[in-house]
Chain A
Amino acid sequence: GEDVEQSLFLSVREGDSSVINCTYTDSSSTYLYWYKQEPGAGLQLLTYIFSNMDMKQDQRLTVLLNKKDKHLSLRIADTQTGDSAIYFCAESFDTGFQKLVFGTGTRLLVSP
């Protein structure tokens, strides 16, 4: 079955790096995603990685994928107060459409 788990909460100081972790159970996923949810707003896609990749870097964001351990992480360099939000990892499968399975979300709090 599909199950995606995340730690609930992470607190960092401005300027530090943040690492948000995600584990999943279904190894047949094709894409894995990180979405950001700010208060009162919809979910916004931050970045994604294809399942045959190990790493993807996109400006301050680095995604690492360990397929053997079914572990996905998002590293945010030089974290800013504006990065405070809930971060969701999600996976999709080879069904030809975006039926995503989301994790429970990690609330990131960045203090000045």
Chain B
Amino acid sequence: GAGVSQSPRYKVTKRGQDVALRCDPISGHVSLYWYRQALGQGPEFLTYFNYEAQQDKSGLPNDRFSAERPEGSISTLTIQRTEQRDSAMYRCASSSPFGSGNTGELFFGEGSRLTVL
């Protein structure tokens, strides 16, 4: 697509429920990133994929968080047994790799705002 698309834009859920957040990157972008942004803070790295391979998941807070990108395009971030502290804006970004004139610029989606009651 023309830009990075995320859904849902807003999600309100009760504590203990599972949520799945979807990201559709820019067509042809190899790399896909998930960031989390708490209110009044900058985005914080969660995890990253090259094609379908998860390259780094060091930013995932705990094992309730997981992400996949099975066909190297759309990605899903899943949070199991949500807690109130999971409330945040979850941002997805995609990029082309460095080289061939690319700076590896990240193109961010508008984000999915998660509220856990």
Residues of A within 8 A of B (CB): 4, 31, 40-45, 48, 88, 90, 92, 96-105
Contacts and interface: CB of A to CB of B under 8 A. Distances in A.
B26 to A, nearest CB: 12
B109 A42 contact: yes
A43 B45 contact: no
A96 B103 CA distance: 11
Contacts of A42: 3-4, 91, 93, 107-111
Contacts of A43: 43, 91, 93, 106, 108
Contact of B108 (A44, A96, A105): A44
Interface stretch (B48-56, B63-71, B75-83): B48-56
Interface in B85-110: 91, 93, 95, 97-98, 103-110
Contacts, number: 62
Contacts of A98: 31, 33, 93, 95, 104-106
B18 interface: no
A90 B91 CA distance: 15
Interface string B31-47: 10100000011111100
Contacts of A41: 110
Contact of A104 (B41, B45, B103): B41
Contacts of A104: 40-42
Contacts of B103: 31, 48
B32 to A, nearest CB: 11
A104 B4 CA distance: 23
B44 A102 contact: yes
20 contacts: A4-B42, A31-B103, A42-B109, A43-B43, A43-B106, A45-B105, A45-B107, A96-B97, A97-B48, A97-B55, A97-B56, A97-B97, A98-B93, A99-B33, A100-B43, A101-B45, A103-B42, A104-B40, A104-B41, A104-B42
B72 to A, nearest CB: 15
A49 to B, nearest CB: 11
